[in-house]
Structures are given as C-alpha cells and as structure tokens.
C-alpha cells in the first residue's frame, strides 16, 4: 500500500491554446483525454506525466523546480499580490491511495492538497464506528477495527444518511501511519520549494503564499 501526494494539472488552465474537452455525453476514453492533456501541458513546456490516464493528477515528487515555476507563474498571474489572502487557494488534488498497483482512492471534485489533514484525522480517531473521509465529493467512509482500516466505496450521501455501509477494501493501520508520514514530509518539502521559487521570482510574502497554496505551515 502507498499514498501519493498529487496536484491536478488541468488542461483548461495550463495551456496556451484553446482547449476543448470531450463532451460529457461521450463515452469516456482515457486515451483521448490523456492525449489532449499531453498536448495542453506541452504547449507551456511542462514535462511530467499523470499518475494514470483517467485523471490530470500529478505526483508532486515528479514536479521539478523548472516545472513548478511555470505552474506558479500561471497560478499567480490573476492574483492581486497586494491583497492575496482570500484569493490564493490550495492546489486542487490531495492524497491517492494505491494498493497492489491499483488506485483505490483518489481526490474528487473540490478536493485539494490541504485535505492531508483528513488523513491525519484517521490516525487520531479512536472511534470504531464509521467516519467520513473528506476527499471532495463524492467522498468515502472508513472504520478502524483490529489494527486495520476499512474503506467504503465513493458516496454522495452524508454519514447520517447511510444505513448500511459496506467496506470494499482494508489496509493495515501501521502501514497507513508510515505512508502518511512520508506524504506529510513531501508536502512540507513542496511548500518550502514553492517559497524558495517565489523568493527567486522577487515575490513578497513568499512564505505565506506557499502556506496558502499547500495548506501546511
């Protein structure tokens, strides 16, 4: 089992060209979406890959300083840096859970990398009842039992609306603890790298901006 810390690099945002997504009514074709993503990001000279062909999620460990500078320039171009506190949001994305080379949980709509706190809450939670794990919507539920953590499928229901939650897989809590510490340190490193790049770009309040972008201090 492993956790992967990802940000979403959407071709709607990170492209120099007009970009058209496939129609919602079209049958999903990962290859088509992936080729469009590659074309979009290559137009601004980004050179990393997604974690799979079904999303625009990129492992933050794969984003080097050159690529990150390009991303930051795009993210900040419409921000009033004299009044940024309410304008800068964490990167879309979050934590991906992968087991036996299969992605079992990944961020959903409105999820962002500050949601790493939700995964920490799993480790701190002493309840043996089902609890919610906010990853965006739809979300998932988890339950701790005998040193293991069970996870439900994705659901748009609130916890109090669910009558019969069924686990679809489980992991060892000890493994989650190890993996969480790994992604936590990666996110701190990511924040520090952003801060250093912003300083080189001569942007004031680099430390605070990096905190807002990553959701960590």
Q: What pLDDT was estimated at residue 43?
A: 66
pLDDT at 13 (0 to 100): 76
Tell me which H or E stretch contains 63: none
> Could you give the dihedral angle defined by the CA atoms of residues 106, 112, 113 and 119, in that order, rounded to the nearest 10 degrees?
-60
- The phi-psi region of residue 215 (left if phi > 0; otherwise alpha if psi is between -120 and 50; otherwise beta) is left
Who's near 1: CB < 8 A, 6+ residues apart? Answer: 97, 98, 99, 171, 172, 175, 176, 179
The pLDDT of residue 192 is 98
pLDDT tens sequence across 9-19: 887 777 666 55
Name the residue among 136, 135, 164, 129 with its Cα closest to residue 150: 129
User: pTM for this structure?
Assistant: 0.88
- Looking at residue 20, what is its pLDDT? 55
| Tens-binned pLDDT, residue by residue, of the chain (217 aa) | 999 999 998 877 776 665 555 444 344 577 776 777 777 666 667 778 889 888 889 999 999 999 999 999 999 998 999 999 999 999 999 999 999 999 999 999 999 999 999 999 999 999 999 999 999 999 999 999 999 999 999 999 989 888 889 999 999 999 999 999 999 999 999 999 999 999 999 999 999 999 999 999 8
**Can you give the pLDDT at residue 139?**
96
% helix, strand, coil for the chain, step of 5: 35, 20, 40
pLDDT, tens digit (0-9, with 9 covering 90-100), for 149-197: 999 999 999 898 888 899 999 999 999 999 999 999 999 999 999 999 9
Per domain, the residue ranges of the chain are 2-214
């Amino acid at each position: 089992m492993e956790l992967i810390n990802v940000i979403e690099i959407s071709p709607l945002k990170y492209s120099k060209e007009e970009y058209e997504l496939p129609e919602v009514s079209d049958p999903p074709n990962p290859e088509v979406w992936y080729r469009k993503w590659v074309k979009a990001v290559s137009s601004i000279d980004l050179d990393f890959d997604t974690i799979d062909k079904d999303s625009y999620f990129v492992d933050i460990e794969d984003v080097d300083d050159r690529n990150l500078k390009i991303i930051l320039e795009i993210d900040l171009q419409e921000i009033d840096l004299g009044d940024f506190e309410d304008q800068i949001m964490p990167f879309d994305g979050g934590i991906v859970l992968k087991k036996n080379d299969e992605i079992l949980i990944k961020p959903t709509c409105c999820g962002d990398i500050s949601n790493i706190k939700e995964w920490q809450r799993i480790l701190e939670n002493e309840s043996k009842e089902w609890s919610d794990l906010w990853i965006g919507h739809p979300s998932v539920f988890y339950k701790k039992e005998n040193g293991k953590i069970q996870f439900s499928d994705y659901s748009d229901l609130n916890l109090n609306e669910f009558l019969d939650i069924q686990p679809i897989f489980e992991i060892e809590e000890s493994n989650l603890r190890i993996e969480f510490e790994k992604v936590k340190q990666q996110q701190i490193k990511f924040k520090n790298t952003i801060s250093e790049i912003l300083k080189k770009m001569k942007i004031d309040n680099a430390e605070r901006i990096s905190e807002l972008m990553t959701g960590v201090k």
